[in-house]
């Protein structure tokens, strides 16, 4: 590739870095680091947007870059860090599959994503059309990250990383969406995180933990909460709130200092 100009190489480098960051998120168990990786992902997106804006001369991309900076690099990580501090969630519990297994699945997902994006890349006319496969890979990897997590905060980070992948896909396939749509999407993401913040406090208040295993008792057949509608009672004394209380007494196993890795 010695013939290609330098900024295109830099764009490809940014794309590869995005992929690496998604893998790093897949393997990471410390939640603070996850949020930092998300912030770095936002920064890489910013650099890529600026490069593309400079290369193609499309002015709406500069606006898009400013939006990315404000939202994905500064504001969202800041909110998430605040939430982490106030909710005191620092570590994720052991995922279902061990790290090596998850990585291998991630590799297969990447190969699948590259194959999926082939027809689109073939038809695209942008300079960055090869990076569409990476965008799809980032989306699918975030999906895998969400599936293999148990703490609510990690799932949220996976969700936001999926949005980053979508943004990158839009950028590499069509030099970004129309501004009105981008603003709308940014607004939605922002409101989503704010709503989630409120939500986390509600969950924490009820269960004393943000482990999603507490949120898995509603099944297809029937809820296990018998008296969840009762007159003159705001909290129902049921199995899970008792569980939550015992967890609080025994200490959350995920926060056992001897278990730190």
Partner 1 sequence: MKTIEILTQVLELIAALTAAPLFLGWVNQCRAWLQNRRAPSIWLPYRGIRKLFHKDAVIAETASPLFRVAPYIVFGAMVVAAGIIPSMGTRLPFTIAADAIALVGLLATARVFLSLAAMDIGTAFGTLGARREMMVGFLAEPALLMVIFVASMISATTALPAITENLATQTLALYPSLAFTAVAFILVLLAENARIPIDNPATHLELTMIHEAMVLEYSARHLALMEWAAALKLFNYACIGFALFIPWGVSTRESGPVALLASVPLLAVKLAVTGAGLAFIETISAKLRVFRAPEFLAVAFLLAVLGLLVHLLLGA
Partner 2 sequence: MEFLLLLSTPLFGALALGVFGARRWAPELNVVISLITFLAACALTARVVSEGPLVVAHEQFFIDPFNVFLVTLTAFVGLSTSLFSRPYMRVEMDHGRVSAPRLRLYHSMYQLFMTTMLIALTTNNMGLVWVAMEAATLSTVLLVTLYRTPASLEAGWKYFILCGVGIAQALFGTILLYFAAEKVLGAEGVTALLWTHLNAVKGQLEPTVLGLAFVFLLVGYGTKVGLAPLHNWLPDAHAEGPTPISAVLSGLLLNVAIYAVVRCKVLVEGSLHSQLPSQMLMSFGLLSVVLASFLLWRQRDIKRLFAYSSIEHMGIITFAFGMGGPVANFAALLHMTVHSLTKSAIFFAVGHAAQKAGSQLMENIRGLITLSPTIGWGLMMGSLAILGMPPFGVFASEFLILTTAMREQPWATPILLTALGVAFAAIFGRVQPMVFGETTAKRLPHPPALLPVFAHLALVLMLGIYVPPYLADWYRAAARLIGGQ
- C-alpha–C-alpha distance, residues 130 and 138, integer Å: 14
Tally Cβ neighbours within 10 Å of residue 245: 12
Q: Please identify, among the stretches 72-80, 84-92, 102-110, 224-232, the one whose residues bind partner 2 according to the rule CB under 8 A.
A: 224-232
Helix (H, G, I), strand (E, B) or coil at 202: helix
Closest CA to 48 of 79, 27, 72, 32: 72
- Minimum CB separation of residue 42 from partner 1 in Å reads 19
In degrees and rounded to multiples of 5, residue 256 shows phi and psi of -65, 120
- C-alpha–C-alpha distance, residues 27 and 42, integer Å: 19
Tally Cβ neighbours within 10 Å of residue 89: 23
Site string for partner 1, 99-138 (x = CB under 8 A): xx--xx-xx--xx--x---------------xx-xx----
- Using CB under 8 A, list all residues that contact partner 1: 1-2, 4, 6, 9-10, 12-13, 15-17, 19-20, 23, 27, 98-100, 103-104, 106-107, 110-111, 114, 130-131, 133-134
- Using CB under 8 A, list all residues that contact partner 2: 119-120, 123-125, 139, 143, 146, 152, 155, 159, 162-163, 166, 169-170, 173-175, 177-178, 180-181, 184-185, 187-188, 191-192, 195-196, 198-199, 202-203, 205-207, 212, 214-218, 220-223, 225-236, 238, 240-241
């Amino acid at each position: 590739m010695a013939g290609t100009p330098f900024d295109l190489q830099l764009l490809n480098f940014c794309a590869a870095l995005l992929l690496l960051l998604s893998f790093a998120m897949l393997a990471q168990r410390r939640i603070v680091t996850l949020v930092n990786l998300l912030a770095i992902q936002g920064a890489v997106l910013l650099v890529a947007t600026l490069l593309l804006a400079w290369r193609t001369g499309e002015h709406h991309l500069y606006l898009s870059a400013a939006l990315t900076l404000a939202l994905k690099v500064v504001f969202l990580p800041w909110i998430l860090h605040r939430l982490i501090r106030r909710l005191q969630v620092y570590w994720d519990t052991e995922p279902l599959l061990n790290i090596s297994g998850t990585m291998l699945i991630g590799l297969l997902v990447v190969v699948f994503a590259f194959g999926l994006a082939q027809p689109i890349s073939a038809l695209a006319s942008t300079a960055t059309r090869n990076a569409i496969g990476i965008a799809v890979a980032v989306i699918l990897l975030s999906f895998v990250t969400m599936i293999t997590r148990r703490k609510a905060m990690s799932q949220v980070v996976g969700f936001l990383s999926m949005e980053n992948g979508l943004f990158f896909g839009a950028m590499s396939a069509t030099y970004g969406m129309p501004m009105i749509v981008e603003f709308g999407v940014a607004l939605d993401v922002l409101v989503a995180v704010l709503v989630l913040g409120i939500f986390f406090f509600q969950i924490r208040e009820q269960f004393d933990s943000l482990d999603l295993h507490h949120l898995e008792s509603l099944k297809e057949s029937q809820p296990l909460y018998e008296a969840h509608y009762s007159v003159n009672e705001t909290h129902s004394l049921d199995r899970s709130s008792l569980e939550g209380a015992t967890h609080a007494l025994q200490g959350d196993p995920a926060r056992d200092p001897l278990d730190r890795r």
